[in-house]
Amino acid sequence: MAKIIAVYSMKGGVGKSTVAVNLAWNAAGASARRTLLWDIDAQGAASFLFGHDGSTGKASRIFAREVTPASMIEKTAFARLDLLAGDLSLRQLGESLAEADKPKRLRKLLQTLAADYDRVILDCPPGLGELSDQLFRAADLIVAPVLPTPLALRALDQVRDHLARHHAGKPVLLPVFSMVDRRKTLHRETLAAHPSWIAIPQASVVERMAVERAPLGAFAPRSPAARAFGELWTRVEANP
């Protein structure tokens, strides 16, 4: 049975797609897991980072049950690593799922893939609504990139409260500091308050992923950020 890992944050632009791509690469490479990266964000950023040309406009048909997820899966350049690409047709996914009144649609779609993969990594859009509730019902683990700032930690607490109130405290929430700049006092202080959390440094080489269109480990494996993504993956694997 595949383990479902959602890379999620209520906040936008915090490094979710970047983390999702690098976790998927570590899952398929270092851990030799049969891995699927499912991009459920209309921006299709994770798909782009894997070199996908985008613009099929058909990703939402999976959620309408017009096509099976399996029929839309593509190979990537990496062994054991497949992609279910996102595109603009997903821009109203939360609204259409709410309208269809199918609260477990995502979970059921994932179940159709469970035998074919060891790990499914979901790259999610920001927000807290119907789509994130579907994620929380479907995922075994939520990896939550968090900027090392008070407002970002506050947003994480809001998600934690929401999980406790509406999802019986499930799934497990694994925060990870993202875009850390140790020259900033506030960043250092925030990290010191959560010494056990993995910290991904802010680095231009991470931004280069969008030029190379590849996971960081594929072109800068010895960079501190690539090592941090590797450590994060180890932490993910240590979770039940």
Ligand X SMILES: Nc1ncnc2c1ncn2[C@@H]1O[C@H](COP(=O)(O)OP(=O)(O)OP(=O)(O)O)[C@@H](O)[C@H]1O
SS3 string, 163-207, reads: HHHHCCCCCEEEEEEEEECCCCHHHHHHHHHCCCCCEEECCHHHH
- Residue number with CB closer to ligand X (2 or 146): 146
* Nearest-angstrom CA–CA distance, 87 and 39: 8
Taking CB under 5 A as the criterion, the residue among 45, 81, 90, 236 binding Mg ion is 45
Residue 18 interacting entry, from Mg ion, ligand X, none, C-beta within 5 to 8 Å by type: ligand X
CB of 44 to Mg ion, least distance (A): 9
Helix (H, G, I), strand (E, B) or coil at 237: helix
Closer to ligand X by CB, 108 or 188: give it: 188
Binding flag, residue 17, Mg ion (CB under 5 A)? yes
Least distance (Å) between residue 130 CB and ligand X: 17
Q: Is 120 helix (H, G, I), strand (E, B) or coil?
A: strand
Q: Rounded to whole angstroms, how far apart are CA atoms 225 and 33?
A: 22
Helix (H, G, I), strand (E, B) or coil at 81: strand
Contact segment (CB under 5 A) with Mg ion among 44-52, 62-70, 113-121, 179-187 equals 44-52
Question: Applying CB under 6 A, which residues contact ligand X?
Answer: 12-18, 41, 43, 45, 125-126, 178-179, 200, 202-203, 206-207, 210, 225
For residues 13 and 221, which CB has a smaller minimum distance to Mg ion in the complex?
A: 13
Nearer to ligand X, 116 or 197 (CB): 197
Residues that bind Mg ion (CB under 5 A): 16-17, 45
